């Protein structure tokens, strides 16, 4: 599951079976390595954006075909949502950001976020475009230090670049175990 696959998904109530909105933007906290919420469009081809937002805590599950919420009360007005969700900083698109190791090596540019399947938005890695070309996936530590606009990852990340999401899934635990030992 990647963040770009979430964009445009319908938001469906578990207990109502209704599509109450669809995903507009994904709001991501790089320090915590998790989604903090989603902004929404109204349903329908000609409908515009929705004023309401969906904080991550109110997400029941994110699947391949829909974002599930308990019921319509999960959608909240921006004033009632955490500030990062209610008034997101739309000038900081993570896609396209440079990923640098602490040692100063560029691993590439972020193309997408890899999410833990079945979670309410835990981000476990980035899909990157390598400087030499081609795609790869890197795992993220549970906690991440972010400085400024660039995303800074531990040096050891270089050893854990994988070719696909399956490889990434297997690498995340090993990677985090390695970090824990240091």
Interacting residues with another protein (CB under 8 A): 3-4, 7-10, 12-19, 23-31, 36, 39, 41-42, 46-49, 60-68, 84, 88-90, 92-95, 97, 112-113, 118, 146
35-70 burial code (b ≥16 CB/10 A, e <16): bbbbbbbeeeeeeeebebbbbbebbbebeeebbbbe
Distance CA 95, CA 93 (A): 5
Is 167 or 178 the residue whose CB approaches another protein more closely?
Answer: 167
Is 92 or 159 the residue whose CB approaches another protein more closely?
Answer: 92
Closest approach of another protein to the CB of residue 178, in Å: 25
Closest approach of another protein to the CB of residue 159, in Å: 26
Distance CA 55, CA 73 (A): 11
Closest approach of another protein to the CB of residue 4, in Å: 7
Q: How far is CA 47 from the centre of its chain?
A: 25
Is 111 or 130 the residue whose CB approaches another protein more closely?
Answer: 111
Q: Report the run of H or E that residue 54 belongs to, with start and end.
A: strand 49-55
Is 129 or 132 the residue whose CB approaches another protein more closely?
Answer: 129
Closest approach of another protein to the CB of residue 182, in Å: 24
**127: β partners:** 112, 137
């Amino acid at each position: 599951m990647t963040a770009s696959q979430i964009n445009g998904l319908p938001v469906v109530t578990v207990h109502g079976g209704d599509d109450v909105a669809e995903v507009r933007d994904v709001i991501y906290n790089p320090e915590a390595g998790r989604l903090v919420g989603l902004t929404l469009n109204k349903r329908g081809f000609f409908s515009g954006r929705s004023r309401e937002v969906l904080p991550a805590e109110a997400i029941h599950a994110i699947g391949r075909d829909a974002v599930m919420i308990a019921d319509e009360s999960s959608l909240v007005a921006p004033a009632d949502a955490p500030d990062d969700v209610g008034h997101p900083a739309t000038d900081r698109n993570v896609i396209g950001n440079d990923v640098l190791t602490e040692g100063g090596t560029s691993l590439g540019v972020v193309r997408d976020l890899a999410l833990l399947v079945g979670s309410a938005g835990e981000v476990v890695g980035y899909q990157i475009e390598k400087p030499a070309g081609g795609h790869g996936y890197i795992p993220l530590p549970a906690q991440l230090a972010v400085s400024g606009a660039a995303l800074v990852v531990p040096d050891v990340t270089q050893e854990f670049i994988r070719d696909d999401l399956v490889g990434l899934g297997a690498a995340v635990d090993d990677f985090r175990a390695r970090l824990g030992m240091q």
